[in-house]
Amino acid sequence: MTAMPETPAAVPSLLHAPVIDWFDEHARDLPWRRPEAGAWGVMVSEFMLQQTPVNRVLPVYEEWLARWPRPAALAAEPPGEAVRAWGRLGYPRRALRLHAAASAIAEQHGGEVPSDHAQLLALPGVGEYTAAAVASFAYGQRHAVLDTNVRRVFARAVSGAQYPPNATTAAERRLARALLPDEEPVAARWAAATMELGALVCTARTPACGRCPIADRCVWRAAGSPAHDGPPRRGQTYAGTDRQVRGKLLAVLREAVAPVPQQALDAVWDEPVQRARALDGLVSDGLVEPLPDGTYRLPLT
């Protein structure tokens, strides 16, 4: 047994009401939160929102749901169409995985997004967070939903740290479970509310503590809002990386209506070794399909 900070039994009841009441008043009217979105709408939004801001997701989400209102509709199209419709959301493998998830749902779940957490987790592109989010937001179940927002809220309000650890820890999962309201619908509301609080008030850089419903119970604030001490948070480099080259290559293919000759791809990056490596990577990832005549296109299968 590792000595872990205990969560006093009184803590949850002191946090639930103010956070949920705040959510009742300040929740954004996002399309995937409306009843008509359904579980499929929730799932599409969760894929798109992985590492991507809400404002950038909104227009693409609307296009997707209008074009593919059900999983089977998406599954009936080539995966390349999903990649094309993904636009510039970034991390296009998510489009491929969402297409694969839709196929699995169509073939193995009767076309309905499963409500079972384990079945959700087994879908391509669905990890710990997304499985809990879909089960909670779409089906009202009681799960610890630990995304970057919730982790930050708990780190500050309960653990007294400015930022959570780089990777989700067992202690964080334990804490999230301990804080979960007992009643299923309340727990689902709590999950959405804590996430929204992190997104709108308890933000990473400049938290708006003046608008926080639990500022007077925040351990981090009570400690004087000390700066993050631990190891530096892992930054992402981008310029000059294979990722940037992959992005440029795929952008050409997204815009093309016909297979693209090698020459058109060569034009996006002048360093041939890195360019070839990036293209190979896209092909092995299934994002690009090489044709026998030496041209390339988004995958038909």
For residue 76, what are the contacts with CB-CB under 8 A and spacing of at least 6? none
Q: Where are the alpha helices (DSSP H) in the chain?
A: 10-26, 38-49, 54-67, 71-75, 79-86, 93-108, 117-121, 128-133, 148-154, 170-179, 184-200, 219-222, 242-255, 262-266, 272-284
End-to-end CA distance of the chain: 50
Collapsing DSSP states into helix, strand and coil, what is residue 238?
coil
Give the chain's largest Cα–Cα span.
Answer: 69
Nearest approach, Cβ of 293 to DNA (angstroms)?
25
Tokens (6 digits) for 118 = 């384990």
Nearest approach, Cβ of 13 to DNA (angstroms)?
25
Nearer CB in complex with DNA: 97/189 = 97
Nearer CB in complex with DNA: 29/293 = 29
Residue 46 annotated as catalytic: yes
Nearest approach, Cβ of 243 to DNA (angstroms)?
4
Catalytic residue among 36, 46, 112, 255: 46
Nearest approach, Cβ of 234 to DNA (angstroms)?
6
Q: What is the DSSP letter of 167?
A: S
Nearest of 149, 145, 138 to residue 51 by alpha carbon: 149
Nearer CB in complex with DNA: 130/141 = 130
Give the C-alpha separation, 116 to 131, whole Å: 9
Nearer CB in complex with DNA: 184/242 = 242
Residues near DNA (CB under 7 A)? 30, 32-33, 45-46, 49-54, 56, 88-93, 97, 124-131, 133, 147-149, 152, 166-167, 195-196, 198-199, 203-206, 232-236, 238, 241-244, 246-248, 250-251, 281
Nearer CB in complex with DNA: 13/206 = 206
Tokens (6 digits) for 284 = 């092995």
Nearest of 151, 220, 199 to residue 179 by alpha carbon: 151
Nearest approach, Cβ of 26 to DNA (angstroms)?
13
Which residues belong to the active site?
46
